[in-house]
Structure 1
Amino acid sequence: MKNIYLLLIIAMFTFVSCKNDNQESFDKPTNNEVTKKISGQELFEGEGNCIACHKPDQKIIGPSLQEIAKIYKEKNASIVLFLKEESDPIIDPSQYDIMKTNFAITKSMSDDQLKALEDYIYTFSK
């Protein structure tokens, strides 16, 4: 009789401890929750609305992306810090007041989004 109880207890622990492969885990995101890679170009042209003032190869209201990429690389400066308003303007300080209105947008972006924007801008460096 003791052997039957022992076998039942072992079977119960085995059953409880075995994980069903289809069972969802609360620790890991499901496929639906996995975030897609953030596109700097999509942010630049969409949510950030940067394209309204910046063009790839010509100055409109703000400097061109080529000029931004060139100067920030030369000075080893951070576009991300500038967009967070944590560093001073280095390209055209006279346009800084115009850019200030856009900091509300860039400050609401995550670090990953700002890094994606920076990476996108650097694609225009020669």
Structure 2
Amino acid sequence: MKRIAIVFFILTLVSCQNEKKEKESLYPETETIQTPQQLGQEIFDGKGVCYTCHKPETKTIGPSLKDIAKIYKAKGGNIVEFLQGDAEPLVDPSQFEVMKTNFAITKNLPLEEQKALEAYILSHLN
């Protein structure tokens, strides 16, 4: 009798596992893929804390994203190199000391995230 109960229990477990797999395959999760600009905006507005000094259209503590994009494009600058602390400021050198404090954040971002920030900034060229 014990053997029959054990066999029944094992069959029930196996059956439940198969049913669970079938349900999972019927409703696959849809994964949304972020564009570089979307990731860049997420970093800009989040862990990059860039939003505290920069706004899309307006100069505040730092230059606007529109101005940064325009100047970097015109001068052939590399925003990623600047975020890594490896390039001179092109937009407003007088504010460079203020920006340098943020290199502790931007230098430690993965390269993919630095490139995403660049993509987000350059998306303000329109």
Alpha-carbon distance between aligned partners in 2 of 1:41 and 1:91, rounded to the nearest angstrom? 20
Give the drift of 1:113.
Answer: 0.2
Q: Report the counterpart of residue 113 of structure 2 in structure 1.
A: 113
Q: Give the helix-richer structure, 1 or 2.
A: 2
* CA RMSD of superposed structures (Å): 2.2
- Structure 1 gaps of 5+ residues are 1-33
Q: Report the counterpart of residue 18 of structure 1 in structure 2.
A: none
Give the drift of 1:94.
Answer: 0.5
Q: Report the counterpart of residue 68 of structure 1 in structure 2.
A: 68
TM-score (norm 2): 0.70
Alpha-carbon distance between aligned partners in 2 of 1:122 and 1:87, rounded to the nearest angstrom? 17
Determine what percentage of the aligned residue pairs are the same residue. Answer: 52
Q: Report the counterpart of residue 82 of structure 2 in structure 1.
A: 82
Alpha-carbon distance between aligned partners in 1 of 2:42 and 2:48, rounded to the nearest angstrom? 9
Q: Which 4+ stretches in 1 moved above 2 angstroms? A: none
Alpha-carbon distance between aligned partners in 2 of 1:100 and 1:111, rounded to the nearest angstrom? 18
Give the drift of 1:123.
Answer: 0.8
Residues 28-107 of structure 1: pairs in structure 2 closer than 5 A: 37=34, 39-107=39-107
Aligned residues: 96
Give the drift of 1:49.
Answer: 0.4
AA at the equivalent of 2:91: I
